[in-house]
């Protein structure tokens, strides 16, 4: 493997980073909101599944809490 001068490496990194298409602020905000909403929906879903399964198990085992 060829060794690269750190200065040359940093130049290559800058060149590659300049080629990246960065998201706009609006795209970032919308994506963040979507992630938060989906996380809340997933949490509510698993809360419901946990409650149902817990109720079924307590019913089968005859426990009442």
pLDDT of amino acid 57: 92
pTM of the model: 0.67
The answer to whether 58 and 51 are in contact (CB under 8 A) is: no
Query: What average pLDDT does the chain have?
Result: 92
User: Rounded mean pLDDT of 35-40?
Assistant: 98
Q: How far apart are CA 63 and CA 52, in angstroms?
A: 14
Predicted confidence (pLDDT) at residue 3 exceeds the cutoff of 90:
no
- Residue 35 has which token pair? 């992630």
Predicted confidence (pLDDT) at residue 40 exceeds the cutoff of 90:
yes
Alpha carbon 50 to its chain centroid, in Å, reads: 22
């Amino acid at each position: 493997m060829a060794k690269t001068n750190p200065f040359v490496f940093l130049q290559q990194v800058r060149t590659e980073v300049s080629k990246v298409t960065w998201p706009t602020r609006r795209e970032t905000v919308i994506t963040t909101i979507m992630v938060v909403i989906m996380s809340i929906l997933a949490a509510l879903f698993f809360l419901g599944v946990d409650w149902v399964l817990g109720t079924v198990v307590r019913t089968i085992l005859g426990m009442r809490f």
